[in-house]
Amino acid sequence: MQGALSTRPVLETRGLGAGYGAISVIRSLDLSVEPGTVLGILGPNGSGKTTLMLTLAGLLRHQGGEVLLDGEALPSGRASVTNRAGVVLVPDDRALFTGLTVRQNIDIARRKGGMSWDEVGDMFPALADRANQRAGSLSGGEQQMLAVARGLVQQPKVLLIDEMSMGLAPVIVEGLLPVVRRIADEAGVVVVLVEQHVQLALEVADQALVLVHGDAVLRGAAADLAADPSALEAAYLGDSPKSPPAAGPPADAAPSESRTSP
């Protein structure tokens, strides 16, 4: 995968299995992601994207295989150890302290060596302007910025962003995604981005994979995937050698024309 800073992967999974108790969702997933790479995780509803993120974050135990950070295996199902090692999740519900101000949300999360308030303000001017506003009174887009900023001040090596666009209009998402690119380019952070707006995700990502029923049915350079919407659509519909043809996802789960066409 592309990586401006080094060719040594920061994040790897080897034969990773994930799920819930007796339920297997992800089967034997291999990933290798280099510094400064944005990896887009795509796929229809229920395909295992959030399950993967929770497992990478240590919130779910592995069902098999391993997750490695800088070549060292992370313990299975140990969220605080994983977080301290540098894998930081921005959850889809954003999990902000809504009664606290923007600045307080940042200050609580900051780790030694993490981004300063001025650096946060440089990356998110809208947050700097609202330092003393309660997080609960921010707009959805501003709350998402705050959730990402709170992740950044934890000095992540890997930032897992689950559904940045949840509840947001595409135009707002379009404004947020360049920040994701900056995070990867300027800080060398690996960003793993789950995103329903396929085309927007492919514009910002270096690499992408499509999960369907827990299998990576299509993966490659984001630009290549964006250039071949029919392959992408076929992958969503389960029409792939690695995934037997299935009834297909619900109609609203398949990428719409506006999402897949370049």
Q: Taking the complex as a whole, how short is the minimal distance between the CB of residue 209 and ligand ATP, in angstroms?
A: 12
Within 185-244, the residues that bind ligand ATP by CB under 6 A are: none
Residue whose CB is less far from ligand ATP, 50 or 101: 50
| Secondary structure (DSSP) of 191-240 | EEEE-S-HHHHHHH-SEEEEEETTEEEEEEEHHHHHT-HHHHHHHHTT-B
Rounded Cα distance, 17 and 26, in Å = 5
Q: Taking the complex as a whole, how short is the minimal distance between the CB of residue 157 and ligand ATP, in angstroms?
A: 23
Residue whose CB is less far from ligand ATP, 124 or 236: 236
Rounded Cα distance, 75 and 170, in Å = 37
Q: What is the 3-state secondary structure (H, E, C) of 103-150?
A: HHHHHHHCCCCCCCHHHHHHHCHHHHCCCCCEHHHCCHHHHHHHHHHH
Residue whose CB is less far from ligand ATP, 65 or 114: 65
Structure tokens at 27: 């089967």
Structure tokens at 140: 């959805």
Rounded Cα distance, 191 and 189, in Å = 6
Interface mask (CB under 6 A) for ligand ATP, residues 42-71, using x and -?
-x-xxxxxxx--------------------
**Binding status of residue 248 toward ligand ATP by CB under 6 A:** no
Residue whose CB is less far from ligand ATP, 6 or 45: 45
Q: Taking the complex as a whole, how short is the minimal distance between the CB of residue 254 and ligand ATP, in angstroms?
A: 12
Q: Taking the complex as a whole, how short is the minimal distance between the CB of residue 174 and ligand ATP, in angstroms?
A: 20
Per DSSP, 175 falls in state H
The secondary element (H helix, E strand) that includes residue 14 is strand 11-20
Within 16-45, the residues that bind ligand ATP by CB under 6 A are: 20, 23, 25, 43, 45
Q: Which residues bind ligand ATP (CB under 6 A)?
A: 20, 23, 25, 43, 45-51
